[in-house]
Structure 1
């Protein structure tokens, strides 16, 4: 049977069917037609170059089993008609004014028809949407040519060979279809077993007719993960088609139910969907529905989902509270949820309640605050250790925002019991809660409430509790003040600094490094005396911490007092068996001794330490020494530097590690800037040239390093540039240019282009001086533009351009 379609025709032999259906209200008036391109489940051809389709009889042949017709007694075709349409299905558009439906291939069910549908899942709708673009064309006006109409776009998929799209293509398709459907409210119908009886079918058809983007969104959510992920990301397109009332009655209930069957990775995305939906309306019923949907996420075992859901609840409450709504969102939506969570035996519910209560307490009414406190006390009585641990962790946030009387009540009912709980992690969190409570108390109240808890934590048998207290002594000093600390808690701190467990001792001393600067000098000297008496029994790490503590104390003390109190300890630490401890003293040497102390014994110990470091295989030790070369020159004076530290400078310049050499290059530039030009030229420049030209005659070049490697040559060239910044033209160029010209003839390309870069630097350094000494370099650069190495030619051109810019010719 042939039918007429106002939307185009299907080529003969095509594996596609075009079904044309009139709308309910306009079938008689022929005002509007919907053309739906449906994939025929047979092997079909692809589009040819002309935009049509080619096929042969073998490819289009199929059996009755290949069809999935929608049976309708009113429109079923005769066997002869069906047989006549098995090979080909086509639409005759010879008379566009009299459209008819092709019922030979698949009868079409009109909206509102009470029929029994075939077994076709919602997934088939999803695949139908993805595999086919629905083409909607209006009936052409009388007198217009059919060629002016747009032809439907068809995607080809062969039977039994489902086209597997890449995820990126699928995501793009879902986004495009959602956007198209959101902009298009054209009436359409689809048959599906998603509905069962006539009533549900009518409702389904109504939703499909009015809100195609929402129906497509539902199919994607219930379909594959790839489509669901992209659909969740594009939920705002659906909300644009639905008004707030429909979002509340259709979209929110659907997501509330659909999320119960979602995997974890989709639940992480749906939190953002609920956030988007929460911004649509602030009506009481809508917000209650949103919170009811988020309640499922709060109960998830995955902590990341719970955390995001808790943050979303708080965000919703803040948004509603800041708006001009006239209802109490806490009382109507949140409080019932919190009561349900706190009374639940599922750990995730109780843990989420522990996190929610401190975040919502400040926004609650007086009555709600009372109920929140009761919920929190009830949570502490839970039989689950993980819940009690969460109560202890969040009590620190809750106590500061409560009324003082309520805080005291919470202290006795919860915090005091936490301090004696059998689980040590709970007792460790009790320290934070106690300090948060103590910040609000008077000295008399702290004497009764806080000090007993702190002293009990200091003597706790668990190292975890003592470590927690030791790491928070900076807060103790801040909250109670130095006088109270000295009176009640100083001996306790000394015990922690010398704890029997190394992990506690390391934590106590390491934390003390960060806040010891806040102590007064008399109290600092008491700590110095304590550390001196326990220095030998301390670990290497603790002794390094002590060196930093002494340097901090020394920065606040008079130089004479530093020499008296810390001088013996500095000498003692410079003889330490651990190189790292000695380097800690060297790193702070300008604070721990005076320049005149160099000749009083400390200089010899410093030289001994330096010799030990130069022989070590740890390059980071040598790096620390290289970083202090400039400090040695500034602190101990030029005489001591030239005598003791200049040889170290050249030895480190020839280090095997690039990082050490690069650090020394910076030191050379700084030292040359502070010294006289004559000394720089006679001492440093002379030695650098000797190392490059005559490495065998230099005492700083090892025998194994001769001839110089390309890395050492590059370092010397860069050092020449660093020295040139402190010399004038007469003292620099006459001696540097021969070295650079030699470097440009080096067989290694790296050396050649580094020499060229050095020439370019010289042009910039001496651009305000006479150009005659530099003309010789430009001539060499012109030759290097023909070098075999690409990098050499590139830098040669760059250097020539710089030369011409610095010394333009008339």
Structure 2
């Protein structure tokens, strides 16, 4: 059908045809993304009769366009006039599920899995099952690979007779000659396991799992770890010991590090699935071997599992079997291993208790706090609250705080930032006196840090400290030092003063606001640097509602408003704009952005 010969009533289709034939990919892509609009214009009947057949005939385009089409069709049921017509979407999606590009096939499969859930029994029998069969027996591996992802949703909505046929068909996919198909089958076998009855898991899934777990391709074997977990969750501990323990051992000692990595990465989940008896008899020694694996990637993954797996063990086993491995990992050659351990090691403190944490873990924490890698130091710092909860702040401060103070001046700004973010937590635990003596001056020094992110975090830190220790403490310990910075010759200090006062304003009382914050901002509004002046305007914009809240109208009308009125005529355009914006907030209006 030529566009120029189309009847006027077919105009939406004509436009679509024209755009889909255009040389410009962006125009074709845009046409696909407007399919829903076109369908609304056509109505359900013509969408079924004209649009869907046209799309089915037009699947020969760039991958980007086909990907958009596969996604659109998955949400198209409503435009056809209801679920009773949903099967009309299957032909174009079947074609898309067999194309070469993986992303297009995956999106087509995703859409097919949506549509099967709205089909009735007759549609499934007459259309969907046949589609899955055709894809499963296709000449190209692409269609067979795609079909593997369709069995799980289909299996739960068909009759027992069809379920048996699907089990046989999926078995063929698991033994396909092409590794890509076996990989897809292995990736979807765990989903099917959860849909099968226990008897069918025993009779069908178990055999498929063992064959795939012994596949000559490690890319297939590594995908069977999820299947192993799904089977273990189906069986009881005795059945697990009988049916899957041997395969579990083989996978844990696989010659491919990628397979061992998958075991390590999911070890806690696997342990919970197999049961307490297998944990005691087999998995503790298996975990020790994984922690000592010769590949850093495997050790890195294993470190993430340490607290979770140790929570399934008795304390003696942790002390005698796991801690020696942890001590070795603290000095591991790979910084990635050490960084992973630093994130998780504090999780051992609640499991070991106060005495064993002091005896065995504190020294390891200190080693990690002094590690040459910034990531390692960051990770151990971020989780110190777990240790404090177990051993108390007194011991923590004696053992770890000196190292933390040293890190607060670290050359890596991200380390300094991590310290700042943890200061309020430590402050609440240390108490005012200890904090003022050990960390007070440090917190103020960050306000002059050369890195803006540090200065910004430092001002936020002061607000949080005020919330922890109270306004009176802030008035005595923080505000005098901030106000002193307002006269510093370095404009960065004066700018930081503006930011700090703006951040503190919402958490102080009316006396501090009126007697210290507002006068200082008024003073800084006359600074020679335009950046400082317009930031004062932005600050006053936030302060005005607070003055109204505290009913400080006299200060507002006699100090703030006159100053802003003067700044409206400033030589700098930004100052004029932000001063006007602040004034508009006071009057309850919005300022128009030029």
Q: TM-score range by the shorter chain?
A: 0.7 to 0.9
Deviation of 1:560 (Å)? 4.5
2:362 matched to which residue of 1?
567
CA distance in 1, matches of 2:485, 2:436: 18
Q: Which runs of 5+ in 2 are unaligned?
A: 589-594
Deviations 1:642-662 (A, max 9, x none): 222122112101012222112
1:405 matched to which residue of 2?
199
Q: Judging changes above 3 Å, is the alpha-carbon distance between structure 1 residues 550 and 508 closer, same or farther for their aligned structure 2 residues?
A: closer
Q: Judging changes above 3 Å, is the alpha-carbon distance between structure 1 residues 788 and 481 closer, same or farther for their aligned structure 2 residues?
A: same
Q: Judging changes above 3 Å, is the alpha-carbon distance between structure 1 residues 223 and 685 closer, same or farther for their aligned structure 2 residues?
A: closer
Query: Does residue 426 of the first structure (1) align with residue 225 of the second (2)?
Result: no
Spell out the pairing of 1:509-528 with structure 2 (5 A cutoff): 509-512=303-306, 525=319, 527-528=322-323
Q: Judging changes above 3 Å, is the alpha-carbon distance between structure 1 residues 490 and 238 closer, same or farther for their aligned structure 2 residues?
A: same
CA distance in 2, matches of 1:288, 1:730: 72
Spell out the pairing of 1:101-500 with structure 2 (5 A cutoff): 125-129=2-6, 177=8, 180-181=9-10, 224=22, 230=31, 233=35, 234=38, 247=49, 258-259=57-58, 267-268=66-67, 271=70, 272=72, 275-276=76-77, 279=80, 291=90, 294-321=93-120, 328-411=122-205, 413-500=207-294
**Any conservation in 2 of the 1:717–1:758 contact (CA below 8 Å)?**
yes
Query: Does residue 552 of the first structure (1) align with residue 334 of the second (2)?
Result: no
Q: Which of 614, 631, 651 is the matching residue for 2:445?
A: 651
Q: Judging changes above 3 Å, is the alpha-carbon distance between structure 1 residues 367 and 645 closer, same or farther for their aligned structure 2 residues?
A: same
Q: Judging changes above 3 Å, is the alpha-carbon distance between structure 1 residues 518 and 637 closer, same or farther for their aligned structure 2 residues?
A: farther
Q: Judging changes above 3 Å, is the alpha-carbon distance between structure 1 residues 471 and 784 closer, same or farther for their aligned structure 2 residues?
A: same
Question: RMSD of aligned C-alpha atoms?
Answer: 4.0
**Any conservation in 2 of the 1:598–1:636 contact (CA below 8 Å)?**
no
**Any conservation in 1 of the 2:537–2:578 contact (CA below 8 Å)?**
yes
1:792 matched to which residue of 2?
575
Deviation of 1:368 (Å)? 1.8
Deviation of 1:630 (Å)? 2.3
Deviation of 1:217 (Å)? 8.6
CA distance in 2, matches of 1:270, 1:537: 50
Q: Which of 530, 535, 555 is the matching residue for 2:330?
A: 535
CA distance in 1, matches of 2:583, 2:420: 35
Deviations 1:520-556 (A, max 9, x none): 6566555344312443235333233333323223245
**Any conservation in 2 of the 1:281–1:287 contact (CA below 8 Å)?**
yes
1:748 matched to which residue of 2?
529
2:496 matched to which residue of 1?
715
CA distance in 1, matches of 2:258, 2:464: 48
Deviation of 1:628 (Å)? 2.5
Query: Does residue 605 of the first structure (1) align with residue 403 of the second (2)?
Result: yes
**Any conservation in 1 of the 2:377–2:415 contact (CA below 8 Å)?**
no
Deviation of 1:519 (Å)? 6.2
**Any conservation in 2 of the 1:259–1:267 contact (CA below 8 Å)?**
no
1:146 matched to which residue of 2?
none
Deviation of 1:588 (Å)? 3.3
2:463 matched to which residue of 1?
669
Deviation of 1:687 (Å)? 2.4
**TM-score (structure 1 length as normaliser):** 0.62
1:596 matched to which residue of 2?
394
Q: SS state of the match for residue 571, structure 2? A: coil
Q: Judging changes above 3 Å, is the alpha-carbon distance between structure 1 residues 792 and 427 closer, same or farther for their aligned structure 2 residues?
A: same
Deviation of 1:372 (Å)? 1.6
**Any conservation in 1 of the 2:190–2:226 contact (CA below 8 Å)?**
yes
1:46 matched to which residue of 2?
none
Deviation of 1:300 (Å)? 2.2
**Any conservation in 2 of the 1:278–1:316 contact (CA below 8 Å)?**
no
Further displaced range: 713-722 or 448-457: 713-722
Deviation of 1:347 (Å)? 0.9
Deviation of 1:317 (Å)? 4.3
Q: Judging changes above 3 Å, is the alpha-carbon distance between structure 1 residues 733 and 460 closer, same or farther for their aligned structure 2 residues?
A: same
1:687 matched to which residue of 2?
481
Deviation of 1:777 (Å)? 4.8
CA distance in 2, matches of 1:769, 1:295: 70
Could you say which structure has the larger radius of gyration? 1
**Any conservation in 2 of the 1:566–1:592 contact (CA below 8 Å)?**
no
**Any conservation in 2 of the 1:513–1:548 contact (CA below 8 Å)?**
no
CA distance in 1, matches of 2:53, 2:171: 34
Q: Judging changes above 3 Å, is the alpha-carbon distance between structure 1 residues 521 and 547 closer, same or farther for their aligned structure 2 residues?
A: farther
Deviations 1:160-186 (A, max 9, x none): xxxxxxxxxxxxxxxxx4xx348xxxx
Further displaced range: 678-687 or 235-244: 235-244
Query: Does residue 624 of the first structure (1) align with residue 421 of the second (2)?
Result: no
CA distance in 2, matches of 1:683, 1:307: 60
CA distance in 2, matches of 1:242, 1:722: 61
Q: Which runs of 5+ in 1 are unaligned?
A: 1-121, 135-176, 183-212, 323-327, 696-706, 806-810
Q: Judging changes above 3 Å, is the alpha-carbon distance between structure 1 residues 383 and 747 closer, same or farther for their aligned structure 2 residues?
A: same
**Any conservation in 1 of the 2:271–2:283 contact (CA below 8 Å)?**
no
Deviations 1:21-68 (A, max 9, x none): xxxxxxxxxxxxxxxxxxxxxxxxxxxxxxxxxxxxxxxxxxxxxxxx
2:592 matched to which residue of 1?
none
From the two aligned structures, give the one with the greater helix fraction: 2
Q: Judging changes above 3 Å, is the alpha-carbon distance between structure 1 residues 604 and 278 closer, same or farther for their aligned structure 2 residues?
A: closer
**Any conservation in 2 of the 1:654–1:712 contact (CA below 8 Å)?**
yes
Q: Judging changes above 3 Å, is the alpha-carbon distance between structure 1 residues 224 and 615 closer, same or farther for their aligned structure 2 residues?
A: closer
Deviation of 1:446 (Å)? 0.9
Deviations 1:647-697 (A, max 9, x none): 21121010122221121112222334554766644543332233332x4xx
Q: SS state of the match for residue 392, structure 1? A: helix
Q: Judging changes above 3 Å, is the alpha-carbon distance between structure 1 residues 217 and 490 closer, same or farther for their aligned structure 2 residues?
A: same
**Any conservation in 2 of the 1:597–1:603 contact (CA below 8 Å)?**
no
Deviation of 1:467 (Å)? 0.6
Q: Judging changes above 3 Å, is the alpha-carbon distance between structure 1 residues 239 and 689 closer, same or farther for their aligned structure 2 residues?
A: closer
Deviations 1:390-435 (A, max 9, x none): 1211211222222333322324542221122110011111222122
Q: Which of 538, 546, 566 is the matching residue for 1:783?
A: 566
Further displaced range: 645-654 or 577-586: 577-586
**Any conservation in 2 of the 1:126–1:223 contact (CA below 8 Å)?**
no
1:195 matched to which residue of 2?
none
Q: Judging changes above 3 Å, is the alpha-carbon distance between structure 1 residues 753 and 478 closer, same or farther for their aligned structure 2 residues?
A: same
Deviation of 1:319 (Å)? 3.1
Deviation of 1:459 (Å)? 0.6
Q: Judging changes above 3 Å, is the alpha-carbon distance between structure 1 residues 485 and 279 closer, same or farther for their aligned structure 2 residues?
A: farther
**Any conservation in 2 of the 1:680–1:723 contact (CA below 8 Å)?**
no
**Any conservation in 1 of the 2:45–2:80 contact (CA below 8 Å)?**
no
